[in-house]
Structure 1
């Protein structure tokens, strides 16, 4: 992920947008630039890397209720993207125009940190418990990291919908070796990176499950335990298409 040394290597006269995109491994990540220059307004019908990054950041606003839907990160500003932007804007006290103006860019940029993680979630929370970091999974490390990064933004949306309550990540990525020691399935979503088992302060798992149903998760575990399993299995382009798995169904 980009560090401060890499960021300082940009020419002083370079104009950086609020959602400046740079290539990192298999995916894209924002530098979280804070320069005075502004990003272009984004609206329906546009396309590009900045639209793709926008879709990653508003993916947790894929639905306005309990519906099995996720936002396709295609780089094209389609109707579902516009609807997700409107929900994000409304939730953050902005005019729900569906156009990503400078105020909306500011809110989106505020969610990102310099190392590519998000405001309320850190890479270390998702690393494999056996000390292998993000290596040794079903897919390469860069892909795992990108899956984790995208998951963070969905969790940011979930956290916001739960009134900003502290969200504990109890489990994230598992290396294949760690998964074998647990005697779990080899093709577990934990070995792809886009998975977390979470618990939210002062809330039942059932309450978290209800809110998570609007956040674009294609895998939700049982709410009769002390944590909630969340994953994005239907979005893994590097995996055979997986059926949605909401353990207890739509509430």
Structure 2
């Protein structure tokens, strides 16, 4: 985990990992594939080169990992996680490749697959985000929300990849997750909305040291986040509510 996080009032990186919790979502009606075995080390074994027209579980995994590269400029668009390698997925792959110094041809061969795998940690989290940053602050787990703990954890994993893209677009600047997944009880205790996206693991409240919330909001507009709270708060809220079939909500509109 990269240690440099936001303001001076925050504890050390190790302390923050123990204190900061969160998650990112999908409703019970939404099919989540593939679900990761909780607590199991995970490394995706790409078995073929992927290109536009391909279908299958490996395409679904690819879409999860490039979802944060949904657009070049602020647009209410997202990469569909449907296992069908269409034009939107190809465009996201090209943006990912260009950002990481690869040949931006939209073809997912060994070099691109290697870079995708380099973004994950051995426990299934991503290189710059730990599970402990997203768990419920009270229980320290992914239980007690609107979904099973396994489904919630998978939503968090998907959110992590979008946040990796956001971090890259912010110049590799460290992001602090101030709130992620919340249990129903914890959400009620803090006065959260009764159907808050935090309850599903599809929302995170962020802080980025040295970067204004307005800038974070603008970059998040290109990452497929369908829920953006106003940047005038003391944090920047992002979520993926459209993955639940909800309407897009950008509180400040397109910035």
Offset, 1:242: 1.2
Q: Which runs of 5+ in 1 are unaligned?
A: 1-20
What secondary structure sits across from 1:89 in the alignment?
A: helix
Aligned to 2:10: none
| Secondary structure, aligned partner of 2:238 | strand
1:114 is matched with 122
Shift of 1:226: 2.4
DSSP-derived class of the 1:197 partner: strand
Partner of 1:245: 249
Instruction: For 1:129-208, list aligned pairs within 5 A.
Output: 129-208=137-216
- Greater relative contact order (Cα < 8 A, sep 6+): 2
Structure 1 distance, partners of 2:41, 2:112, is 15
Number of equivalenced pairs: 222
Q: CA RMSD in A?
A: 1.9
1:220 touches 1:231 (CA, 8 Å); kept in 2? yes
Q: Distance in 1 between matches of 2:94 and 2:191?
A: 43
Unaligned runs of 5+ in 2: 1-32
Deviations 1:95-119 (A, max 9, x none): 1100001110111010111111000
Conserved? CA contact 2:34–2:57, under 8 Å: no
> After alignment, is 102-111 or 126-135 more displaced?
126-135
The verdict on how the C-alpha distance between 1:55 and 1:22 changes in structure 2, with shifts beyond 3 A counting, is closer
Judge which range, 129-138 or 91-100, deviates more. Answer: 129-138
Match of 2:76 among 62, 65, 68: 68
Q: Which has the higher strand share?
A: 1
Q: Larger Cα Rg: Structure 1 or Structure 2?
A: 1
TM-score normalised by L of structure 2 = 0.83
Partner of 1:56: 64
List structure 1 segments (4+ residues) > 2 angstroms apart after TM superposition: 21-26, 29-33
Decide whether the 8 Å contact of 2:68 with 2:222 is kept in 1.
yes
Separation in 1, partners of 2:112, 2:41: 15
Aligned residue in 2 for 1:11 = none
